[in-house]
Amino acid sequence: MCQRLTYEEFVQKLRKWIIKAAHLPEDYVFFKKKEKTGITANGDRLFVVCAETDSGKDICGIFVEELYQDYVEGTSMKNIEARVKCDLDRVGNMENTRYLNDYEKVREHLFLGLLNLEKHRHELKNAVYKTMGDIAITLYVHAGTLKNGITYLKVRSEYLETWGLEKTMFYTMLF
């Protein structure tokens, strides 16, 4: 039987894999532990600098606690790496995510989708959604266009605060 990696070993292995797979300099992938406030208030993250321009950097934050939980529950490192690769590949095509902090700019890209609550409970943990029976009415943002279609993201609940909206007020607006 294969011995499971500790959380710290998992994070380091994933970080090294990202650097190698994406051909990035070491300092383009860095780890930040959860803090009480700020960018990591919702959990530990590996940050990946995906693009750098004169106007700034596009940085993708990967929630490693959730990935580690999946690993502990039996998801292979190969599957986790494939999920991370898919996420990183989409980042370059997610033009609308640049505006996630600005409700006025992002609101025209918001839409609702339906998910089975039980099947998707884990991924809904930090998402904006309201339940109706066994269905989660979930808030998404159209993130961008890919050559084979569109990409979208579930809106995380911390964005409501960033937008200056209370959860109950927002739900009233939606429903």
Q: pLDDT band for position 13 (50/70/90)? A: very high
Write down the pLDDT at residue 141: 86
Give the ranges where 1-157 is alpha helix by DSSP (H). Answer: 7-22, 64-72, 77-91, 103-106
pLDDT 10s digits, 101-120? 788 888 888 889 999 998 88
**The whole model's pTM is what?**
0.55
Q: What CA–CA distance (Å, rounded) separates 37 from 14?
A: 25
Q: How confident is the model at residue 77 (pLDDT cuts 50, 70, 90)?
A: very high
pLDDT at 158 over 70: yes
